[in-house]
Amino acid sequence: MPISKQAVSRRSFLGMLSATAAAVGGSVSLLGSKTARAIRVVARPSAAQMQRLLAYYKTKPRWASWLVPELNVNDGWQRWMRTILNSKSLPIVHDNFSRIGTTIRQPHHWVMVIDERRCVGCQACVVACKDENNVPVGVYRTWVDVVEIGQMVPDPTGAIVTDHGRFTNNIKRSSMPLICNHCDHPPCVEVCPVKATFKRADGIVMIDYDLCIGCGYCIQACPYNARFFNPVQQTADKCTFCAHRVDRGLLPACVTSCPTHARVFGDKNDPTSEVSKLISTTPTTVLKEDLGTHPQVFYINREQEVYDKNSVKNTVYPYTANLNSTEYATLSGNAPLPGDTGGQR
């Protein structure tokens, strides 16, 4: 991935930020000042320092999400080549996932919290992901369903006057970011016949593109439709939680690009991380809980109707979902949307 101008500004920003953080009390930080890879981690803050840090966080909301995930220095962040941070030395499992965290030490547990109260459906994360990961046209590693729920209610006193009578608008728009859930018991990994896809000990589910035979079994087995065939490399593909960024102490691209901080990424093993606090203080749900996949993407204030098919009678506008981006033209013309349920447009 070429280093863009943006990365440079990002780096200087990081430098600034970490300088501030260090001044506050030596918080964990990422300094990309020399090379992209070098990760300097100051020792884990003391309790008092942590308090001050948290106070700092409160005064300065992380609107742009540029802060790094909270890291534990004991996990060997400084010894890049030899430690867990190097994904090459990270244990991976193909089955028996309950080993992670029991017999296999789990250094981090990367999770994402998606706060739907904040999502405005701008699709910035979708674009950022495509940009970051070179996702081909027509497929998505993350996407945001924007749906309208409800209908126009006939109402003699309604404000909307049409030839067919007066109506009151009872439609709300809801948007729902979707992504691979990096399930703790991923059926997609278990079914791969050649062990091409795997779960890292830190929770990230990935695919080895050099081993995948392209059978499509994992794509069928994922209950969340998070996987797809990459039409360029002809293998299964999906979200990696931007493992290449996370391994270097950066946040996933979608998280950094979200203008409303609707996506929060972090280490669930770290009780002080923002995700841990969100999960412990806010009611969250996961998708299709009943399937026992133990998804690790948590939703706050999820619009039930958007996801549960049997109640989505009024979904009228699924826009990245089920629509090929090459066929966006049909949106402006008279051509019916594929699989249109006949709802109001």
Footprint on this chain of ligand SF4 (rule: CB under 6 A): 180-183, 186-188, 192, 194, 196-197, 205, 207, 212-218, 222, 224, 226-227, 235-236, 238, 293
Size of the residue set binding another protein (CB under 8 A)? 55
Q: Could you tell which of ligand SF4, another protein, none binds residue 238, using a CB distance below 5 to 8 A set by kind?
A: ligand SF4
Within the chain, residue ranges assigned H as helices are 5-25, 47-59, 124-133, 187-191, 217-221, 243-246, 253-257, 274-281, 304-307, 329-332
Q: Is 134 in the site for another protein (CB under 8 A)?
A: no
Task: Round to the nearest angstrom and report the end-to-end CA distance of the chain.
Answer: 40
Q: Is 283 in the site for another protein (CB under 8 A)?
A: no
Q: Is 211 in the site for another protein (CB under 8 A)?
A: yes
Q: Could you tell which of ligand SF4, another protein, none binds residue 339, using a CB distance below 5 to 8 A set by kind?
A: another protein
Sign of the dihedral defined by the CA atoms of residues 63, 41, 4, 136, in that order: negative
- Please state the closest distance from residue 126 (CB atom) to ligand SF4, in A: 17
Q: Is 335 in the site for another protein (CB under 8 A)?
A: no
Choose between 79 and 313: whose C-beta lies nearer to another protein: 313
Q: Could you tell which of ligand SF4, another protein, none binds residue 183, using a CB distance below 5 to 8 A set by kind?
A: ligand SF4
Among 324, 331, 344, 345, binds another protein (CB under 8 A): 324
Q: Could you tell which of another protein, ligand SF4, none binds residue 313, using a CB distance below 5 to 8 A set by kind?
A: another protein
Round to whole Å and give the CA distance between 84 and 67: 21
Residues 6+ apart with CB under 8 A from 207: 196, 197, 198, 218, 235, 236, 237, 238
- With residue 235 as reference, give the H or E element that holds it: strand 235-237
Exposed (0-12), middle (13-18) or buried (19+): which is 18, by Cβ within 10 Å? buried
- Please state the closest distance from residue 251 (CB atom) to ligand SF4, in A: 19
Round to whole Å and give the CA distance between 329 and 313: 25
Residue 222 vs residues 31, 47, 254: alpha-carbon distances, Å: 37, 42, 21
- Please state the closest distance from residue 12 (CB atom) to ligand SF4, in A: 35
Rg (CA), the chain: 22
- Burial profile 293-311: b = 16 or more Cβ within 10 angstroms, e = fewer: bebbbbbbebbebbbeeee
Residues 6+ apart with CB under 8 A from 287: 181, 223, 224, 295, 297, 299, 302, 307
Binding mask 37-76 for another protein (x = CB under 8 A): ----------------------------------------
Contact window for another protein (CB under 8 A) among 23-31, 121-129, 137-145, 249-257: 137-145
Among 77, 110, 217, 265, binds another protein (CB under 8 A): 217
Question: Are 242 and 132 in contact, with CB atoms under 8 Å apart?
Answer: yes
Q: Is 172 in the site for another protein (CB under 8 A)?
A: no
Q: Is 22 in the site for another protein (CB under 8 A)?
A: no
- Please state the closest distance from residue 29 (CB atom) to ligand SF4, in A: 30
- Please state the closest distance from residue 150 (CB atom) to ligand SF4, in A: 29
- Backbone torsions φ then ψ of 310, nearest 5 degrees: -70, -15
Round to whole Å and give the CA distance between 212 and 152: 48
- Please state the closest distance from residue 283 (CB atom) to ligand SF4, in A: 21
Contact window for another protein (CB under 8 A) among 120-128, 148-156, 159-167, 221-229: 221-229
Binding site for another protein (CB under 8 A): 94-95, 138-140, 143, 145, 178, 187, 190-196, 211-217, 219-225, 228-229, 231-232, 234-235, 291, 307, 309-310, 312-313, 315, 318, 320-325, 327, 338-341
